[in-house]
Amino acid sequence: MRALANAIGPELAVAGVKVTLVSPGFVASDIRRVDNQGVLHEGAPEPIPAWLVMSREKAARQVLHAIARGRREVIITAHGKLFVALERFAPWVLRAAGRRMARRGRGYRPEVESR
């Protein structure tokens, strides 16, 4: 997304359009309870600790503030800033974490819950 925003930003600026890249981190949402078929599982546990999740209202205020000020990028959570820094300076760390999570099979699996 960063590469896309950096590529289209200058092109759209000619037309008076500003691009703001938003890196939100974890925001309160049901998206982590939706499976690959788009089905919401109300009873699925929240996989992210509550102290890491930002409210939708606070996130929206920060995003709108950044857009109104014409900022090129906004990172709205502390852990989001950490992830962006890792992605920029040590991308191998995030790739390794992603592989580890994939091996564990993390995510909501209804067949496991019913046992």
Position 57 in a domain = yes
Model confidence at 47: pLDDT above 70: yes
Position 10 in a domain = yes
pLDDT at residue number 115: 47
Query: Which stretches of 1-111 are assigned E, i.e. beta strand?
Result: 21-23, 73-75
Q: Are 39 and 28 in contact (CB under 8 A)?
A: no
Position 47 in a domain = yes
What is the mean pLDDT of the segment spanning 20-25?
Answer: 89
Give dist(CA 102, CA 96) in Å, integer.
10
Domain count, the chain: 1
pLDDT digit string, tens, across residues 77-95? 888 888 888 888 888 888 8
Position 44 in a domain = yes
Give dist(CA 93, CA 95) in Å, integer.
5
Position 12 in a domain = yes
Position 84 in a domain = no
Position 31 in a domain = yes
The structure's pTM equals: 0.66
Model confidence at 113: pLDDT above 60: no
> By residue range, what is the domain housing residue 29?
2-76
Instruction: Give exposure, 6-31, as e/b (b: 16+ Cβ within 10 Å).
Output: eeebeeeeeeeeebbbbbebbbeeee
Token pair of 9, please?
């930003």
* Residue pointed to by tokens 């992603």: 98
Position 98 in a domain = no
Model confidence at 76: pLDDT above 60: yes
